[in-house]
Structure 1
Amino acid sequence: MGTNKTATEYQADYALWDEFLQQWPITRLRTMTLADYSQAGSQDTLCYWLESKLDKMGSIWGGSAFKFGIYSRKDQSDKPDGGGASYSDHYAWYSKYGANETEAFAKVRDLVAGVAEAAARGDLQTIEDADLGLATKWKIAFHYQGREQPGVVDVFTKSALLAFVGLSDPKLRMIDLQTAALQERAKSEGILEFGSRAWAVWVAKAVDVWKLSHGNDGSFSANEREALAKERRAIIHQETGNNQAGNFVEVANDALFYLCHGNEVRLLGRFCGPAKASEKGADWLERPYVVLKQSQSSTPYSKSKQKWTPAGNSTFSQVPKEQLSVFEKTLLQPYFGVRLEDVMETKAVEMVPDAMLTAIGNAGAGPLNRILYGPPGTGKTYRAVADAVAIIDGQPVHTLMATPEAYAAAKEKFDQYRTSGQIEFVTFHPSYTYQDFVVGIRPRMERDQVVYGVEPGPVKRIAEAAEENWRASRLQPGTALTDMQRFERAYGQLVDDISNSPSQFVQIPLYGGTKTQARIGTQAKGIILSETGSSLPYNIPKKGLAVLWQKRKSYTKPGDMTDCSYNKSFFYAVIKYLEKADDKLGAPEQTTQEVLRNFVLVIDEINRGNIAKIFGELITLIEDDKRLGAVNELTCSLPYVDPEEESAFGLPPNLYVLGTMNTADRSIALLDTALRRRFTFDELMPDVTALPVVAVDGVDLRKLLETLNRRIAYLFDRDHTLGHAYFIHIKTFDDLQHSLLRKVIPLLQEYFFEDWSKIRLVFRDGQKKQEQQIVRELSVDASQLFGTDAEIVDSRAMFEVAEKLTPDMVKAIYA
């Protein structure tokens, strides 16, 4: 809204207002159609008038189109209902208004007409009570009120009205603020002129923005800057020249500032306390602040080198009032997604410093890297399923394992998350390699021929999915898609067009009209073009298209593409196809902030593979403080991957690594030391309480397991005890007999290297009667076997296992 308009400009605004009322008289509102109200591409709809044509008379521009209750979608891709929003092929609306677009519009139309009619009769309470977007309903009310006796001023933000009337209570309703503001209007003062006066007061009072730099000049280490961000302390050296330190001390407690690290824009904040001596040293000053917005872009600022910009040579510099519009266009909107007039209403948010992002997914999710270890049969893989679901859903793991039904539900979720890509499950073994796990070259069939290409492994797949979600969660709501996001959207549409074609190609004409067939290249990293009737393929890499996309508007023919050194006709054809796809998809809708989700990589039997060989550089990247966004963030270029086609690889802070390890296969003490340091270890030992209390044919399963394990631990070690899984599903004595003869005894044979005397000690067979022994010792006379002339004179023991067990034989183990 302008604050220094001339009389001629006001006359033009009043004339435009009259034109609006002629085209949209109040009587039309009750009979308008949905297309009259909102229609993508039309400049005659009511919504377009309110947001665009009448923008100079109280702006409601920007933000989500849901402010109109229902709106025509430019992006008509499939969207699921959820979060209070509903979608059809052509419209989106708040679900509260109706089950379909017809019902929703009927409700919205009634609200819009009701607000306009209330404004015409001066009924502000009805406007206040209307269940419609705050700025939208007061904008409607402003234009349909009686102009000679107005009750609404064209200022629709509470902060501006609070500043004008000299109040500070943010809980005041809009009706109260509008009423208080109108009391300041002179009888002879036009409502538009009065609105400009009210707006000018707010601008003079409230919009006072400063630049603060914690620069890259060596004054701060990375750890210091991270600590300052965590503790929300703004800091400056007291000898900073040009009175910058003095201004830092003197600015008001509610002064706005943006923080940058050199050319990197970090946050938008507001001071909330006076300056004081800093613990950094006697020559430093600091002030506390609250965070209003975190930067949604990591792109370094490069627009200008004026002192108030990140590139300017200053530490603490005010944005000049005459430069506020430039500040809004080049900094406030691109980096924080807000307009200047809304910034004072922006509430403080809880800021998590980058180094703390490892814990952002879920406070109860636990360590990022953990290993469940223990003897065989202790339920490590079983527990890993529940742990993975608990990490994603934020539930206590014990609730997911409380009952068989609860675990069955958790397992079902686990399978669903695997299908959706939120969980990856792999098993290590001696033949498993880095190429299987991270990225490698694999064969595949293409047009009846074997071809070899670079394929991602499970860790790369899930890391990329987790990173995409993590980055999307950092965007502030209401952020418009960037130009490169539009490129990705258009390129994705081309890939979809080809994939959905029965022939697996689409026709794209060259500049001269020659038809070409476009197919998807390897991993969709390029488009393969071939002229119709020709088998000669032309590869159009995605990275090259991305470079040309930025100058697409300047290309009218292939020769204009000076940045392209080869196959210009083919690059031109694809760029123009993408441009048409972008136009068809329409101007980008405002993005919504994505909820941060946790992802889990489950590695079963992690110690059975060659860890150092399989993990490679991941052994460093999995560390908490090396994750993306952390203070010591590290990335690397993966083998087989073109660094120009893919950005450096790193692990995001919402990716959890969960391993299981059988201590009977390899002692934990022998595990790679570097791996042990990077993981938290949770021991799972045999749990006798997991076994049924009721005896099976008189056999107490709990006492049996406890007794066996005490003896095994004494004769060998605790890492080779028996897990409760060996007995947990036993219902009958036949089940128990099968487990002992076919599972437990073979395992003990392996443990004790066929030393049957120790196995007899485990079963206490030496103290039982012959008929109750499970492993029986047979004395064999050598002379009976080999004759008296054999040199073998000593007898030796031989052992046999009972073919059938009885309850008494088993009870004798612990009785």
Structure 2
Amino acid sequence: MSQCNINTILYGPPGTGKTYNTVNYAVSIIENKEFMAICTEAYQDVFERYLTYKKQGQIRFVTFHQSYGYEEFIEGIKPVLNDEAEESIQYKIESGVFKEFCEQAQQLKLTAHDQVMEGNKKVWKISLGGSGKNWLKEECFKDNQIRIGWDEEGTDFIEDGEYPSDTLYYFYEGMSIGDIVFSLGDQKHIDAIGIITGEPEWLEAEEDFKRSREVEWIATDIYENIYELNGKTNLVQQTIYELWRLSINDVNNLILKYSQNDQIDVEENTNNYVFIIDEINRGNISKIFGELITLIEPTKRIGALEEMHVKLPYSKKDFGVPQNVYLLGTMNTADRSIALMDTALRRRFDFIEMLPNLNAVADIKVGHIHIQRLMEVMNARIEALYDREHTIGHAYFMSLKEDSSLENLANIFKNAIIPLLQEYFYEDYSKIQLVLGDHLKPQQYRFILDEKLSIKGLFGRAIDIDLPETKFHLQASAFEEPLSYIGIYGRVENEEVN
């Protein structure tokens, strides 16, 4: 079993492998394996499986930021252009990434003709010759198919992608194998439920309604009222459109109610799903989660002892978080300490600290420069001058395993380490000098030089303003000298190291 709790945050200083390790944690959760066992495997092999699970929809990765909100995460109202009425805008309630992910984790596993229908299924309403009973509907039920007209349009438009109507676009591009179809009975009722099992076909031998898709009917000749489930909205005569108002729970219940067909096997989804939130502490948690912050608790999940649902403000549908959805966050402590995090979030997550790993750089040397000793001494000084949450992670130096040149090390310091220290110490260069050991080196090996600032020489006379007495600047030549780096952890006297 994975050692990861259902709600977990990996936290630590920059460069400690938090995002990197979400791959190992996610794969261990999905495969129900020990985390350490996954870590012993080649990372590339694990990463390939991670990408496969992500493509299948079992892993979702998002990054929080200050503009991220409830509408993107749970649900919101989005404008949609109406193609059939130019300059007309309609508004649609659209699921956010987390709600959509939870719905996918609850999708039933349907098997028809030994073909497993998995993934994020859509639900379509289709009119087979109109409402009520008719010859076309009877033929479709008998032959396990759905058929629509628009025969006069032919099929040439498919290659061009210029669809004459929304109906044809939905039939060819919107519908997918594994999607659910509801056949129109009347304004409030459906008379059949099926699973799409085939791609679009053109039935040349048929006189009318030549466009066809194979389906496996779960139930036919039923009379099921879905008016309430469809948000108290009547079904209309438009040949095909998505029933986006129906929740996944509603659809599951209908399938389970009518799944007596021996040709279709229906199973509950027992797979694990992992929702990864990178930089979780950068988002406004109250704004993003809203009332759902309670639902992520293990005891409040669907099927738990204290199961809870909330009625969502836009769709008015009940929503809960399934037990097979794991939340895995990352948090950079240099941005914000755990102590300053949203209290409601802290109570609902387990925290795994990730600190700089000296062992990860133990075998890295750039000439005579010992990267492990360099990182150890720098972090000890940062911890003394600031705190452990602002130390430097091993990931900054991992590229030296592939390219252990002095030029690469110089680029790491110039483009990553020095800017990071400037941010940490608010450009207090005297402290940065202490971290880099510049106060112990001969001048030519100092990364940062300081010189006295002559106020009188600069302004022509003494002025009554509190100005710094020293100015600092980077010494470019020091980055090209090996002794500049050795001097961080060892004593340098001209060309010697003690």
Q: TM-score, normalised by structure 1?
A: 0.43
Give the SS at the match of 1:808: helix
Equivalent in the alignment of 1:441? 77
Q: Does 1:629 align with 2:307?
A: no
5+ long unaligned stretches in structure 2 = 112-120, 137-147, 151-165, 194-217, 224-231, 242-258, 491-498
1:688, distance to aligned residue in structure 2 (A): 1.1
Matches within 5 A, 1:471-482: none
Contact 1:626/1:634, CA 8 A, preserved across alignment: yes
1:552, distance to aligned residue in structure 2 (A): 7.9
Equivalent in the alignment of 1:641? 315
Distance in 2 (CA, whole Å) between partners of 1:586 and 1:762 is 72
Q: Say if 1:692 and 1:506 are closer, same or farther in 2 by CA, change over 3 A.
A: farther
Equivalent in the alignment of 1:808? 483
One-letter amino acid of the counterpart of residue 412, structure 1: E
Distance in 2 (CA, whole Å) between partners of 1:725 and 1:382 is 9
Give the SS at the match of 2:20: helix
Equivalent in the alignment of 1:453? 92
Equivalent in the alignment of 2:289? 615
| Larger CA Rg, structure 1 vs 2 | 1
Q: Say if 1:569 and 1:808 are closer, same or farther in 2 by CA, change over 3 A.
A: closer
Q: Does 1:662 align with 2:332?
A: yes
Matches within 5 A, 1:146-225: none
1:540, distance to aligned residue in structure 2 (A): 6.8
Equivalent in the alignment of 1:462? 101
One-letter amino acid of the counterpart of residue 282, structure 2: R
1:756, distance to aligned residue in structure 2 (A): 0.9
Equivalent in the alignment of 2:64? 428
Contact 2:277/2:328, CA 8 A, preserved across alignment: yes
Distance in 1 (CA, whole Å) between partners of 2:312 and 2:428 is 49
Aligned mate of 2:377, from 700, 707, 710 = 707
Distance in 2 (CA, whole Å) between partners of 1:809 and 1:568 is 75
Q: Say if 1:527 and 1:688 are closer, same or farther in 2 by CA, change over 3 A.
A: same
Contact 2:4/2:25, CA 8 A, preserved across alignment: no
> After the TM superposition, which of the residue ranges 544-553 and 795-804 deviates more from structure 2?
544-553
1:418, distance to aligned residue in structure 2 (A): 1.7
Q: Say if 1:698 and 1:540 are closer, same or farther in 2 by CA, change over 3 A.
A: farther
Equivalent in the alignment of 1:172? none
1:452, distance to aligned residue in structure 2 (A): 2.6
1:508, distance to aligned residue in structure 2 (A): 3.8
Matches within 5 A, 1:250-261: none
Contact 2:364/2:372, CA 8 A, preserved across alignment: no
Give the SS at the match of 1:367: coil
Q: Does 1:409 align with 2:37?
A: no
Q: Say if 1:750 and 1:372 are closer, same or farther in 2 by CA, change over 3 A.
A: same
1:511, distance to aligned residue in structure 2 (A): 6.4
Name the structure, 1 or 2, with higher relative contact order (CA <8 Å, separation 6+).
2
In percent, how many aligned pairs have the same letter? 39
Q: Say if 1:554 and 1:420 are closer, same or farther in 2 by CA, change over 3 A.
A: closer
Q: Does 1:735 align with 2:408?
A: yes
One-letter amino acid of the counterpart of residue 810, structure 1: Y
Give the SS at the match of 1:468: coil
Give the SS at the match of 2:314: coil
Aligned mate of 2:439, from 754, 766, 770 = 766
Equivalent in the alignment of 1:101? none
Distance in 1 (CA, whole Å) between partners of 2:345 and 2:122 is 39
Q: Does 1:545 align with 2:189?
A: yes
Once the two structures are superposed, what CA deviation does each residue of 1:192-229 show, in whole Å capped at 9, x if it has no partner?
Answer: xxxxxxxxxxxxxxxxxxxxxxxxxxxxxxxxxxxxxx
Contact 2:183/2:191, CA 8 A, preserved across alignment: no
1:510, distance to aligned residue in structure 2 (A): 6.7
Aligned mate of 2:2, from 364, 368, 375 = 364
Aligned mate of 2:21, from 369, 377, 383 = 383
Aligned residue pairs total 391
Once the two structures are superposed, what CA deviation does each residue of 1:87-106 show, in whole Å capped at 9, x if it has no partner?
Answer: xxxxxxxxxxxxxxxxxxxx
Matches within 5 A, 1:47-446: 363-364=1-2, 366-402=4-40, 406-446=42-82
Q: Say if 1:589 and 1:717 are closer, same or farther in 2 by CA, change over 3 A.
A: same
Distance in 2 (CA, whole Å) between partners of 1:716 and 1:568 is 64
Distance in 1 (CA, whole Å) between partners of 2:312 and 2:446 is 60
One-letter amino acid of the counterpart of residue 674, structure 1: A
Distance in 2 (CA, whole Å) between partners of 1:493 and 1:702 is 57
Distance in 1 (CA, whole Å) between partners of 2:364 and 2:462 is 59
Quick check: which one's helix share is greater?
Answer: 1
Quick check: which one's strand share is greater?
Answer: 2
Distance in 1 (CA, whole Å) between partners of 2:418 and 2:98 is 38
Matches within 5 A, 1:461-540: 461-469=100-108, 508=130, 519=167
Distance in 2 (CA, whole Å) between partners of 1:379 and 1:411 is 14
1:652, distance to aligned residue in structure 2 (A): 1.1
Equivalent in the alignment of 2:320? 650
Equivalent in the alignment of 1:246? none
1:398, distance to aligned residue in structure 2 (A): 3.2
1:789, distance to aligned residue in structure 2 (A): 6.8
Contact 2:183/2:192, CA 8 A, preserved across alignment: no
Contact 2:26/2:274, CA 8 A, preserved across alignment: yes
Give the SS at the match of 1:682: strand
Give the SS at the match of 2:303: coil
Distance in 2 (CA, whole Å) between partners of 1:554 and 1:431 is 47
Q: Say if 1:724 and 1:510 are closer, same or farther in 2 by CA, change over 3 A.
A: same
Q: TM-score, normalised by structure 2?
A: 0.69
1:685, distance to aligned residue in structure 2 (A): 0.4
Q: Say if 1:435 and 1:713 are closer, same or farther in 2 by CA, change over 3 A.
A: same
5+ long unaligned stretches in structure 1 = 1-362, 478-490, 499-504, 530-538, 556-564, 575-584
Once the two structures are superposed, what CA deviation does each residue of 1:149-201 show, in whole Å capped at 9, x if it has no partner?
Answer: xxxxxxxxxxxxxxxxxxxxxxxxxxxxxxxxxxxxxxxxxxxxxxxxxxxxx
One-letter amino acid of the counterpart of residue 376, structure 1: P
Distance in 2 (CA, whole Å) between partners of 1:605 and 1:554 is 49
> After the TM superposition, which of the residue ranges 734-743 and 391-400 deviates more from structure 2?
391-400
Matches within 5 A, 1:769-808: 769-788=442-461, 796-804=469-477, 805=479, 806-808=481-483
1:458, distance to aligned residue in structure 2 (A): 1.5
1:371, distance to aligned residue in structure 2 (A): 0.3
1:588, distance to aligned residue in structure 2 (A): 3.5
Structure 1 stretches (4+) deviating beyond 4 angstroms? 491-495, 509-529, 546-555, 565-571, 592-595, 788-795
1:568, distance to aligned residue in structure 2 (A): 10
Contact 1:467/1:651, CA 8 A, preserved across alignment: no
Equivalent in the alignment of 2:115? none
Q: Say if 1:511 and 1:622 are closer, same or farther in 2 by CA, change over 3 A.
A: closer
1:612, distance to aligned residue in structure 2 (A): 1.3
Distance in 2 (CA, whole Å) between partners of 1:634 and 1:586 is 30
Distance in 2 (CA, whole Å) between partners of 1:799 and 1:570 is 75
Distance in 2 (CA, whole Å) between partners of 1:812 and 1:777 is 18
